[in-house]
Amino acid sequence: MPSRPRAAEGRGDATREPFAVLRRSVSPLELFFDLVFVFAVGQLAEHLHEELSWRGAGESVVMLVAVLSCWALTSFDATFLDVELPRTRWLVLTVMGLGLYANAQIPHAFAGRPWAFALPLAAVLFLTAVTAALTAPTDVLRGHYRRVTAWAVFSVPLWLVGAAAGSGPRLAWWAAAAAVDMTGVWLAHPLPGNVLVSRDLVFDAEHMVERIRLFIIVQLGETVLTLGTAVSAAPVDVPTVVTGLGVFVALVCLCASYFRGGEEILARHVATTADRLLPVRRAVSGQYPTLAGLVALAVGAELAVAHPTGPGSTTLSLLLFGGPVLYVITQAWWYYTSTGRAWGARLLACLACAVAGLAARWLPPLASVLLLDAVLLALVLVLKQVHRRVLDEDPAGGRRR
């Protein structure tokens, strides 16, 4: 249910948005929408597992960026345009249908079905931008979404040309398109002399914080499903069971690294900062490496569970340890740039994972998983104290160095 409206601050200032913002919880439709897009985790893991090479990794990254850009743009639309309005609900439902079809084509996008992936994606990019540019409630927002539309005009032809190109050059075209889309999300779609000033917006930041929280949960949940599928396909013996449980412990630790106090630090900071949109934008931008890390870990888990006592390899080390590094270092970046706190322990854990990954090259997968667990368990224990200290010392959520 929407909570009490908060009037815009600084009504005497002509640069401020002259409307109140509603505090509301995440709607069932938004959570449903997130589930459709997190479906891509398993699809991306399947593609990378089947194309386990540097090119396959590049293809997976390109499609991951496409999926997350659609999620980010639509999530902001649902917040700015109010998902409780009928026209916004229809927009979200339409994007869900297009996104579901595009995500289903991920394993085939670089093979025989490029158009089945690119056309729904192009439709989402235009639909979200144009709809918001026409229906946003304020001049500042309508101007912002006109800039978003301009960026889509630049990126969509690259997606379509890539679909028309052969499988060889397709990666280059789609990589360029993905770079445009991701850069637009990261920088809030600026144009020369025309940029978004976040302080001008009254923004339901708490709502987006909850969206991000739930999106991380469902990302982790989809990774667990991928692990479960790998365990189901493997023989039931001690090494397999221990390896599967070890990967599950690693996922629990990654979850706890954020949800054992970290989310409260995020919420406090967003609630007290002058520019309420900026830390949320950073958190949304961080979903790109976060999801990439979980996809890498999911594929590493599949390889480890399939051959727990086999020889180690550079590929397995990169997946098993590189995935958590991407996940944790993204958290470290957000804490450093936003609050200036609770980032050092995360950075040290990433360094420990890098060293352990080098050693894991000569270890069987089972031993590598247990080594990863040791690093992540230590991280969780340290972060429990760090988060508690930050919350006790800085109850207002201010930024400190």
pLDDT tens digits, one per residue of 152-193: 999 999 999 999 998 889 999 999 999 999 999 999 999 998
CA angle centred on 279, ends 67 and 275, rounded to 5°: 130
Contact call for residues 201 and 140 (beta carbons, < 8 A) = yes
Q: How confident is the model at residue 2 (pLDDT cuts 50, 70, 90)?
A: very low
3-class secondary-structure state, position 6? strand
What pLDDT, on a 0 to 100 scale, did the predictor assign at position 18? 39
3-class secondary-structure state, position 381? helix
Q: How confident is the model at residue 25 (pLDDT cuts 50, 70, 90)?
A: confident
What pLDDT, on a 0 to 100 scale, did the predictor assign at position 328? 96
What pLDDT, on a 0 to 100 scale, did the predictor assign at position 200? 66
Q: What whole-number distance in Å separates Cα of residue 207 and Cα of residue 263?
A: 13
What pLDDT, on a 0 to 100 scale, did the predictor assign at position 167? 84
What pLDDT, on a 0 to 100 scale, did the predictor assign at position 275? 85
CA–centroid distance for 354 within its chain: 22
Q: How many C-beta atoms surround the C-beta of residue 189 within 10 A?
A: 23
Q: Is the pLDDT of residue 306 over 80?
A: yes
Structure tokens at 303: 């390889």
Percent of the chain with pLDDT over 90: 65
The pLDDT tens digits for 243-259 are 999 999 999 999 999 88
Would you say the C-alpha torsion 316, 54, 184, 197 has a positive or negative sign?
Answer: positive
Q: What whole-number distance in Å separates Cα of residue 261 and Cα of residue 387?
A: 5
Question: What residue ranges do the domains of the chain occupy?
Answer: 28-196, 205-393
Among 52, 42, 37, CA closest to 228: 42
Q: Is the pLDDT of residue 265 over 90?
A: no
Identity at 149, one-letter amino acid code: T
Percent of the chain with pLDDT over 70: 92
Count helices and strands in the chain by DSSP H and E runs: 14, 0
What pLDDT, on a 0 to 100 scale, did the predictor assign at position 142? 93
Mean of per-residue pLDDT scores for the chain? 88
Structure tokens at 400: 């400190």
Q: What whole-number distance in Å separates Cα of residue 394 and Cα of residue 76?
A: 29
Q: What whole-number distance in Å separates Cα of residue 383 and Cα of residue 377?
A: 10
Give the range among 8-12, 36-40, 134-138, 321-325 with minimum mean pLDDT: 8-12
